[in-house]
Amino acid sequence: MGFTEWTNVARARPIFRGHRQPRLPADLGFYDLRLPEARHAQAALAAEYGIHGFCYYHYWFNGRRLLERPFNDVLASGQPDFPFCLCWANESWTRRWLGEDREVLLTQTYSPEDDLEHARWLAGAFSDSRYLRTDGRPIFLVYRPADLPSARRTTDVWRQTCMREGVGEPYLIGVDAHCPGRDFRDDGFDATLVFEPQLGALQGAFDDGFSRRKLARNLRVGVMHGRVKAYDYREARATMNRRVRNFPTIRSVFVRWDNTPRRGAHGIVMVSSSPEAFGHELRWASTGLPESQLLFINAWNEWAEGNYLEPDQEFGMAYLEALRCALQETEAHELAR
């Protein structure tokens, strides 16, 4: 089968004392998303624990799509019968799975002609009865909205084309992963997704070299290593959420993080992450939200970044149990108000 993300996951090794690697899947195993039974098992598990739908990354390059087979099959077969939406990962294609972000394999480009072709393709996906909507509008996210050279033109074309195609005006969400705190309404979007993890908010997160300062910071969270970047999960979330945003936003919560399977000793590790800590943070993020308000969880299966809800050999279903309990507690609290 060749190289896949599972290759990185399985060959990962501990970097420091107490580092839990490799992190291996449990109930779902080393699955292949080209197989319908794998997609069915994922959807059944997500539904059982209270997840309302999946957000698939969508890779579009001037009319060319990558990693398209699983989603093509989902559309063509009508299965699994589980809601979904799309997020356009509009960045150049690199060897990121090998930790080599600088080697560009396919450059992301933009044009008015491509905006129209893209909108027509999206309208077909939006017409699926399973497609997630808010107030009747299909939800579509853009991962790097600031990269759109003429964002208002692009979003106008998407809206006009989709309405002309009869699928309704899309609800457009700009993801602030690379420009935290930005209000994307001036760019033609309806709201901003406050993306997590905002690694850039953490001191020294992109400093790969050895330093005594880094060693001292790591020692504070129990990691004796001067190169890897280690942070406490809950403290990291608090740091990421200090910014005040006085415009329409959508919250997200990341599950955990350890991308050493990709980056080795240059990786970032969230220590003290646990099902209990995740559940606590999820309750905090969901408190006070209206019933119709969206809440994103990152991620379902980012295994090479150590950021996943799927069961593994250490915690089993514990993260999914924490998710279900947090959602049930929040719902009960809101009903009691």
**Per residue of the chain (337 residues), what is the pLDDT tens digit?**
567 899 999 999 999 999 999 999 999 999 999 999 999 999 999 999 999 999 999 999 999 999 999 999 999 999 999 999 999 999 999 876 555 567 888 999 999 999 999 999 999 999 999 999 999 999 999 999 999 999 999 999 999 999 999 999 999 999 999 999 999 999 999 999 999 999 999 999 999 999 999 999 999 999 999 999 999 999 999 999 999 899 999 999 999 999 999 999 999 999 999 999 999 999 999 987 877 789 999 999 999 999 999 999 999 999 999 999 999 988 766 655 5
Q: Which CATH architecture has domain 33-193?
A: Alpha-Beta Barrel (3.20)
CB atoms within 10 A of CB 30: 15
**Helix 318-336 / helix 275-286 crossing angle, nearest 10 deg:** 30
Q: Which residue ranges make up each domain of the chain?
A: 33-193
263 by DSSP, 3-state: which? Answer: helix
**Which H/E stretch holds residue 193?**
strand 191-193
Residues contacting residue 113 through CB under 8 Å, at least 6 positions apart: none
End-to-end CA distance of the chain: 54
CB atoms within 10 A of CB 3: 9
